[in-house]
Structure 1
Amino acid sequence: MQYIPFKKAKRYLIIFGSLFTALNLNAQEKPTVEKNQFKINVLLPGVVYEHGLSEKNTLYSELSSGYGYRSNNFGEAFTFYPYINEQFRHYYNLEKRANKGKVTSHNSGGFVAMAAFYNFRSISTNDNFLETNSSLTIAPVWGFQRTYKGNFNLDLNMGIGYNMGKYDNDVVPVINFTLGWVIGK
């Protein structure tokens, strides 16, 4: 059996350790968005499908229900209406979250998005008393999404948008908050 001198062994260990570290760092995957993600909303009953388009971009599609308040010269009423929410999302901080040891699975991160909300006519008001019509709102939004243990999901986004209705157009605040569960893995 041949012995390697201590200095030589130390050099080999340093070289081997450096090579192993470099290979390990390169082998670590960058965090990316989920390719396909389904969610169920319980706060405002509905369903969501989010499709990963690239490492940091998704197309978010939501069919849900909303609640509102309307008033005119004849009175006021609360409304209940179905809506569709489409967003092109860009998740900007997945790597930063991963480097801090925070969760990035199920698209847990901050995002900016261009959103389009289509609100259908209210199904809960009397048109003889207070007419409600469908409308379209386009808005840039900022938000975040988190998925916790048990796939419990929280999603909040907000911005300022432009609402186009049958009789009027307005600049409006946009807030979308969902609470529910990710279905699947």
Structure 2
Amino acid sequence: MRNFILLFGFLSTQLALAQFGKNCEVRQIKINMFHPGLEYEMSLGVNSTLDARVAYQFSLDPFVAEPIENYKLFPAITLQNRYYYNFDRRATSGRQIYGNSANYIAPSASVFFAGDDFTGDDIPRSTFATAGLVTGIQRSYNSGLSFSVDVGAAYYLGEFNGGIYPVFNLSIGWIVSEKRWCVGR
């Protein structure tokens, strides 16, 4: 039992120390212009972050007969657990990693709320959600300008026949608050 406690203590210390020397920003807040809203990204580990976005976002309209051809702008909340896989390669080649400028893969979940639709068409009947996997790039500049693009596939859930459809997101905006802890350049 004593050896187990010592081993557990040693591994816990190693795990805690492994979180130092992060590549990711500790936290950053962005204002999005393309999808009007706010985005908060916080570091979870050496190369991973939790990204939360509250914004008006374009989405397929799953309530119509042909959802691929019908996009609408809905208020939404999106969560992504991003894993950035090329920080080291970018840093060693002299490229900037400020603002989590790297490529990522992420499980992604979104909830779209009914009732608001700026396209002038029929208002959707109820709230719906998506859950899937995306891959993307994020680039940030010293001026504070930041953009990210991700694509993937997600399962649409709600009061309709669910299905797997493509997911695409484009965010363009500015970093308004940050807590930096970048290694590299």
- Matched residue, 1:134: 127
Partner of 1:101: 94
- CA 1:168–1:152: 2 relative to 1, 3 Å: same
Corresponding residue number in structure 1 for 2:175:
182
Larger Cα-atom Rg: 1
Partner of 1:115: 108
User: Contact (CA 8 Å) 2:98, 2:141: kept in 1 or not?
Assistant: no
State how far apart, in whole Å, the 1-side matches of 2:26 and 2:64 are. Answer: 45
Q: C-alpha root-mean-square deviation of aligned residues, in Å?
A: 2.6
Q: Which has the higher contact order (CA 8 A, sep 6+)?
A: 2
Which ranges in structure 2 are unaligned for 5 or more consecutive residues?
A: 1-19, 179-185
Q: Give the aligned residue type for 1:159.
A: G
Partner residue of 2:43? Answer: 52
Match of 2:58 in 1: 67
1:4-36 superposed Cα distances (whole Å, 9 cap, x missing partner): xxxxxxxxxxxxxxxxxxxxxxxxx96610111
Shift of 1:140: 0.8
> Deviation at 1:132?
3.4
After TM superposition, the score normalised by the length of structure 2 is 0.74
1:1-185, aligned counterparts within 5 Å? 32-68=23-59, 70=61, 72=64, 79-124=72-117, 131-184=124-177
How far the C-alpha of 1:77 sits from its partner, in A, is 7.8
Query: AA paired with 1:179?
Result: I
Give ranges in structure 1 of 5+ residues lacking alignment.
Answer: 1-28
The percentage of counterpart residues that share the same residue type is 27
Shift of 1:59: 0.6
> What is the CA-CA distance between 1:145 and the residue it aligns to?
0.2
Question: Amino acid of the residue matched to residue 177 of structure 1?
Answer: L
Shift in CA distance, 85/72, structure 1 to aligned 2, threshold 3 Å = closer
| Greater percentage in helix | 1
Q: Give CA-to-partner distance per residue, 1:120-146, whole Å, 9 cap, x none.
A: 114137xx9564321111111100100
Distance 1:154 1:98 in 2: 19
Query: Alpha-carbon deviation of 1:165?
Result: 1.5
Instruction: Specify whether residues 174 and 122 from structure 1 end up closer, same or farther in structure 2 by C-alpha distance, changes over 3 A only.
Output: farther
Aligned residues: 154
- Give the distance between the partners of 1:59 and 1:66, measured in 2 at CA: 19
Tell me the distance in 1 between the aligned counterparts of 2:76 and 2:166: 16
Residues 44-98 of structure 1: per-residue CA shift (max 9 Å, x gap): 101000010111011110001023565858xx98643100110111000001000
Task: Say if 1:101 and 1:120 are closer, same or farther in 2 by CA, change over 3 A.
Answer: same
In structure 2, what residue type is equivalent to 1:173?
P
Residue 170 of structure 1, CA deviation: 1.1
